[in-house]
Amino acid sequence: MPIELILSGKVQGVACRHYCSRYGRMMGLHGSATNLYGGTVRVLIDTDDDGTARAYMRALMQNPRQLTFYGFIERIDLRGCEGPIEGDYVF
């Protein structure tokens, strides 16, 4: 079952979807990132491992590899998700 992350902060129009996909690929994850109405970004990752999801969230929040990202993430809400991995930016 995929895990859904909702990213809040300055996350639209700042290369956030690309940023999320780069960390996802570095960590061997498959998923998608989509801008939502209201200014958030929805990220789906294809894992049921909570530890992997938390490591990915930490990477997004801390940006240890100093990847280009022109915004900031204030909060990430995590929940399970049913259905396929789909969205505007697939990785």
Beta carbons of 25 and 89 less than 8 angstroms apart: no
Beta carbons of 39 and 11 less than 8 angstroms apart: yes
Residue range of the domain that includes 48: 3-90
- CATH number for 52: 3.30.70.100
pTM of the entire predicted model: 0.94
Model confidence band, residue 17 (pLDDT cutoffs 50, 70, 90)? very high
Provide the number of structural domains found in the chain: 1
Residue-wise pLDDT for 30-50, tens only, equals 999 999 999 999 999 999 899
Give Rg (Cα) of the chain: 12
Instruction: State the amino acid at position 91 in one-letter form.
Output: F
